[in-house]
Structure 1
């Protein structure tokens, strides 16, 4: 039996039964057949299904498609050889999958602070935006993650914000002709980061005033920084272009933490969201068992229709 046929027909076993909250495997499979597209467009990343699919980029994408996933995230795309970028693009097209975000990474992304206003950081950012546009064409990417970096604590907050806005305007000018959208991601990893809240990010997008500058709303980070997920998404909705997922605590798949993702996904769908929901998290359980459990977790949280 070919790998793809085997992968398509694997049973979810005890991992599904456990995450389905007592639902029997037969009834769970009946309502959510393996390989059926999900209601929302969830995007795994390379390495998430490595135990089943192996190391190959193509085999991992084929596994994702066989399980019903329709998009890919690849934060490290910009650092891949052009040959690999072209391979990813061609494989996504063949499998009828979309490309989600990759990171506009010009080095140590967090420490290259646009808040400082330093010309060297602005020049590096603009150059990386140009490189990102070229990479996006190879994989048909529409979104690219931007992190403004650390605070510049010697400067007032308003001046830092002005510096970030001006730098992002420069980046947007580079991206607009190609249709690539930088999505700004507020993060919770450390309080040293300039961009941390959704309302702050919303205000910056309004000031940049470009179709190529929008919000990446990562529910994991926003649960840690501000909570009130659905209300805050609604408040910022007109600037949100991309959504990422991860449960808290732990940053693993839905159902492993405190976020009610069934309700969150239902709300996102009701808003008419047709974009990508990136699976920006790790696997709660290692190996094949963990990969099956992750798929089952998404099948369960996606059962809002």
Structure 2
């Protein structure tokens, strides 16, 4: 399998540093109903998740997906896809195909956590991870998703950092051997939730991806987590761009929709567009408002920051 078949094309333009603050949006911010009613597609492929529009479209995820499409969204992501029944996975995949929408990430089943850290180099942990990779192949066939999120778990502090890194690389290489024939990419997500997590920065994740050396092992760059852990967002994305396969959003502080925090998402989305990014931009965050009004304001916020052309 050629590496070029996995990488995005046209990623040649460079961008400037993101600085400055976005205009905050809160419960008193008026909603522009015209922007919401237009329902036209966005400049980037933003992907909501299950429950994001439950107050408007109801609890059924299929109904929510139809509503997302009607509002101009052309992608979704579903962290919980691995926990759905095979029948539900297939229904979601069929609806996405019918609507011409893209499936973003789903989380690898037991892909690595505090109780199953790949840094420890233990066979029993590796076995759980590799089973998750095999499960991902079957899930992908049903839902159409080609990206699965992997978190290597916590530090294993009785080993040196170098040995832990080698253990993670060895485990991911074995996982890539399972996924690569099926064009599935595991995207490694550095997180900010706790300092116990092994994977913390984009540079560290870049090093590991280069060590694994497979088109099936890339970076999930979650803007919220990276703003908290390292900042200098666009510069760090530029440095590691060749290994980035997926983007997620969330403003900081608060992890709500763009315009509610300090990140200049209009500049950042302009950068992604200039780089030629065609993948789903996962909306991995909560909503600042409540009920239907909050969901309308969510769409209006994305209309605002998507207006970078």
TM over 0.5: yes
1:1-41 per-residue CA deviation (whole Å, 9 max, x = no partner) reads xxxxxxxxxxxxx9999367xxxx48x63xx7621000000
Query: How big is the shift at 1:105?
Result: 2.4
> Matches of 2:299 and 2:108 in 1, distance apart?
29
Q: 1:178 and 2:189 equivalent?
A: no
What is the TM-score with the length of structure 1 in the denominator? Answer: 0.90
> Matches of 1:107 and 1:275 in 2, distance apart?
22
> Matches of 1:57 and 1:34 in 2, distance apart?
22
Aligned-residue RMSD, C-alpha:
1.8
Gaps of 5+ in 1: 1-13
Superposed counterparts of 1:215-234, under 5 Å: 215-234=219-238
> Matches of 1:80 and 1:155 in 2, distance apart?
37
SS at match of 1:130: helix
Higher mean alpha-carbon deviation, 178-187 vs 53-62, is at 53-62
Superposed counterparts of 1:9-88, under 5 Å: 18=29, 25=32, 29=35, 34-88=38-92
Report the count of equivalent residues.
285
Instruction: Choose from 126, 129, 132 the match for 2:133.
Output: 129
Query: How big is the shift at 1:94?
Result: 1.1
Q: Please name the residue that 1:3 is paired with.
A: none
Q: 1:293 and 2:297 equivalent?
A: yes
Q: 1:151 and 2:155 equivalent?
A: yes
Q: 1:272 and 2:276 equivalent?
A: yes
1:47-76 per-residue CA deviation (whole Å, 9 max, x = no partner) reads 000000101121111000000000110001
Larger RCO of the pair (alpha carbons < 8 Å, separation 6+): 2
> Matches of 2:161 and 2:113 in 1, distance apart?
20
What is the TM-score with the length of structure 2 in the denominator? Answer: 0.89
> Matches of 1:185 and 1:19 in 2, distance apart?
35
Once superposed, which parts of structure 1, at least 4 consecutive aligned residues long, lie more than 2 Å away?
14-20, 107-111
